[in-house]
Amino acid sequence: MTTTPAATVLTRNNVHVSGKPDGRAIMFSHGFGCAQEVWSRVAPHFEADHRVILFDHVGSGGSDLSAYDRGKYDSLHGAADDILEILEALDVTDVVFVGHSVSAMMGVLASVHDPSRFGKLILVGPSPRYIDQGDYTGGFSAADIDGLLNSLDANYLAWSATMAPVITGNPDRPEVGEELTGLFCATDPVIAGHFARVTFLSDNRADLEAVTVPTVVLQCSEDVIAPDVVGDYVHEHIPGSTLVRLSAKGHVPSLSDPDELVAVIRAQL
């Protein structure tokens, strides 16, 4: 689907492959403000029997920041195209795609564009639209999102320190929020501001019914970013999907309860 050299693709997205070379591929895709390190307590558990693929979305982590094109990444389709380019560069089919938060919708878009690359989607805390509209509940009003984006633009580091503990939940375990704060603060503020707008203003509800790949929706408890009603919506609108409710609290179970997340993903394999 691309003429971009494989080596360029793998460098651009800081791709790391580990595990069993001939095992079924499993790809872990991180959400907003994070990098592949957010999977550090999850991905190694699959290396004994899977080919594990980790990467950074352009603009995050160790990716090539010079490759961040605001035009390309002005919608989630740009990142979805990158996912397909990585799979093509690695010559991967039948991949188990594990996407957290906004990257869950990137996986949806990529699988709709080329389902031949995917064997299963595992969507962790997905949301096709964050803003309430009509009888749809996304969890936020338009004013909520405007306020969130404005505060992010005004002082990204302060926003990160304030929002990370809210996003992770678990107020009795401040170290979980502090870890996410560290990931947020390692992201370029200008890119983060643009990506935040793309993320929180996106609407991918119409894409859900086009998914043909077997899909599992993992819904965390007490998730303020993607509440239960959103997980139910995704499940109801992806044909034949399975909904699994986690005990893990907050929006980032790879940090707050990696053991449960590993066990649930393993059960789906």
pLDDT, residue 31, reads 93
User: What percentage of the chain exceeds 70 in pLDDT?
Assistant: 99
Strands 50-54 and 95-100: unpaired
Identify the residue with better confidence: 88 or 174: 88
Of 56, 81, 223, 257, the active-site residue reads: 223
Strands 24-29 and 242-249: unpaired
pLDDT band, residue 117 (cuts 50/70/90): very high
Label residue 71 exposed, middle or buried (CB < 10 Å: 0-12, 13-18, 19+).
exposed
pLDDT, residue 3, reads 66
Per-residue pLDDT averaged across 97-124, rounded? 97
pLDDT, residue 24, reads 97
Nearest to 223 by CA among 148, 178, 164, 168: 168
Q: What is the rounded CA–CA span in Å between residue 120 and residue 247?
A: 22
Reported as a single tens digit per residue, the pLDDT across 132-182 is 999 999 999 999 999 999 999 999 888 888 888 888 888 888 888 888 888
pLDDT, residue 160, reads 87
DSSP structure class, residue 136 = B
Residue 42: CA atoms inside 13 Å, Cβ hemisphere, count? 29
Please confirm, yes or no, whether 251 is among the known catalytic residues.
yes
User: What percentage of the chain exceeds 90 in pLDDT?
Assistant: 82
19-51: b (≥16 Cβ within 10 Å) or e = beeeebbbbbbbbbbbbbbbbeebbebbeeebb
Q: What is the rounded CA–CA span in Å between residue 197 and residue 195?
A: 5
Copy the structure tokens of residue 254. Answer: 């790879």
Query: At 186, which amino acid appears?
Result: A
Of 30, 100, 235, 251, the active-site residue reads: 251
Per-residue pLDDT averaged across 74-102, rounded? 97
Of 29, 60, 101, 241, the active-site residue reads: 101
Reported as a single tens digit per residue, the pLDDT across 36-83 is 999 999 999 999 999 999 999 999 999 999 999 999 999 999 999 999
Please confirm, yes or no, whether 223 is among the known catalytic residues.
yes
Q: What angle do CA 101, 250, 187 make, to 5 degrees?
A: 50
Domains of the chain from N-terminus onward: 6-129+204-268 (3.40.50.1820)
Please confirm, yes or no, whether 18 is among the known catalytic residues.
no
Reported as a single tens digit per residue, the pLDDT across 186-222 is 788 899 999 999 999 999 999 999 999 999 999 999 9
Per-residue pLDDT averaged across 84-97, rounded? 97
Identify the residue with better confidence: 92 or 4: 92
Reported as a single tens digit per residue, the pLDDT across 9-23 is 999 999 999 999 999
